[in-house]
Amino acid sequence: MPFFSWCWKRRGDASTSSLLASQEDETLSETDSGKKSKQGLQLEPTKAKKSKSASGSSGAGSDYGSADFSPWTSSKRLTLRRLGAIRESLSKKYDGSFNFKPGYEKDFKTLRMLGRGAFGSVFLAAKRNAKNGDGGREAFAVKRVKKDILKSKRHAGALLLEIEIMMKLRNNLNVVHFEDAYEDARAVYLVMEYCSGGDLIYNAKANPDFSEQDVRLYFQDIIRLIGQCHKQNILHRDIKPDNFLKADASSKAPLKMIDFGLSTIWNGKPKKDMTGTPFYMAPEVISKKGYGFAADLWSAGCVLFFLVEGKNPFEPCDTFSNLQFKICQRDASFSKPIWKKVSPQLKDLTKRLLQRNPETRLTYEQAVKHPWLDNDISPSAALNDTMIQKFQSIGSFHRLKRKVLTDALKYLELEEAEELIKIFSELDVDNDGFITKTEMVKGLGKHGYKVSDHDSKVIIENIDVDGNGQLDQNEFVVALLDLKTLQKDRKWHKIVSNLFDDMDKDKDGQLCADEIKAAIPCNEYFALEDIDDEVEQIIEEADEDGNGTIDVSEFTRMINETAATLDTYDKRWGK
């Protein structure tokens, strides 16, 4: 069983609040909204309560600092490649150290506690030497996990897998952004985006005016996140309302998935372990018959049911055996009056997601095409309202590919680029040739999009090739141009070939690691060893003949490979 194991929820702890049905309930008191501030990865079965005191705690690292504890090999930002090396080292020997970077207290000031659990605590913290677009310190949620909890390879491996999954989804705006990992002699510190809007359970109680359209907007975020996970072979296994936080307290703030503690990389072989939160487990999970991606869609159906009726479809239930019977043998009931007040399409989608047979249950691809969800009638924004989706999608390209595309644009004259250049000029308010985070937020708002300061930071990280923390015109345009449009230009093949020749310094027809490293711009987040990691990953991706280098045909195929569909990314349109 995973380290962050599933919990049995007693009837008194079950989610009984409502988004639609709560309109008929009495107003709930402030003391009933204790789940508002759950943040970060799963700590324990019980939910973290919001601290009412500004002081809350003595600090995330106040009793854990150790100035002479310094076994780390790098002081730069954690990369997937280095995380893999840490895992490989851990598989051979685990002595309680992960080799994450030191200096949490030097980089962050802890403000107050957000929640406490059996496996650690979550704190609100601010970066000491960085400010957000409003001139204040950028806020983060920091999870401190005590090392005396991480005693075995199994426990340590579960933590590393959770970090890996968050990093793989880093370019998605519906996932809480993983910033970095720190370590000292007694604890690990996971630094993440801070979401201040509360979870779905809190918002169910707090908003008496929820409509079916509001439910649709929330569920679009949830189903889109599931699609993004499945596209990367991630089986989530714990889709439930309290694992989604609103980015901020505004009424239309987007949802962010915050908990990947039970997630796993799925290779297609049915899983047999009973993992998850029982009320949201699919029949094939709770009966241990073997499960896969379809189990996440069942959980999504339970969440959709909750958004309408205000409770899980299998509540109330007093024993685990009774819950197993209900989930495996009984259909969800749609007899409450609220189901007569919503559209037949909403009811149909919920029923089809709650099919007990995983073979007949809707897949992600089928769910997003369901009439209740596939009814986007938003007015056209710039680029037919796909700008934010494209900004997220390009984050799946490594920096060498983004640099080549940016350089290639200099040699092309494209009519399609003219509109994008105009948009860039509109966003570049001070006309200095660069778009900053602040300009990004304000400018995109004028085009019908809603992004937060932290969203703009993620977007710039996805697009920024040279690592200067802002976007120049070519970086911006390349992110939004359809790669197939570039490939249609008759000069395209020659341009790519010429760029390869420019990188091939010794003219042997192969790009070696040193030549690739020289082509990648230095970035403030990456030390030399991180660039080596990135280069290794690039070669692994492109080197089809396995000789450790990239020839011009491999290079061209790598550059020409297009991104997957945009539909798993949030549009951030008019929210």
For the annotated catalytic residues, the residue numbers are 238
Query: DSSP 3-state assignment of 116?
Result: strand
H or E element in which residue 255 lies? strand 255-257
Residue 334 — φ and ψ, nearest 5°? -115, 35
Residue type, 444: L
Query: DSSP 3-state assignment of 553?
Result: helix
Q: Give the span between the Cα atoms of 494 and 113, in whole angstroms.
A: 57
111 CB-side CA count, 13 A: 16
Query: DSSP 3-state assignment of 435?
Result: strand
H or E element in which residue 181 lies? strand 178-183
Q: Give the span between the Cα atoms of 96 and 12, in whole angstroms.
A: 38
Say how far residue 456 (Cα) sits from the centre of its chain: 14
H or E element in which residue 85 lies? helix 80-92
Structure tokens at 122: 């979550």
Residue 318 — φ and ψ, nearest 5°? -100, -20
Place of tokens 């996440």: 296
Rounded to the nearest 5 degrees, what angle is found at the Cα of 6, between the Cα atoms of 569 and 182?
65
Q: Give the span between the Cα atoms of 164 and 178, in whole angstroms.
A: 10
Q: Is 457 annotated as a binding residue?
A: no
Q: Give the span between the Cα atoms of 336 and 313, in whole angstroms.
A: 11
Q: Which residues are annotated as a binding site?
A: 147
Q: Which residues are annotated as a binding site for ATP?
A: 147
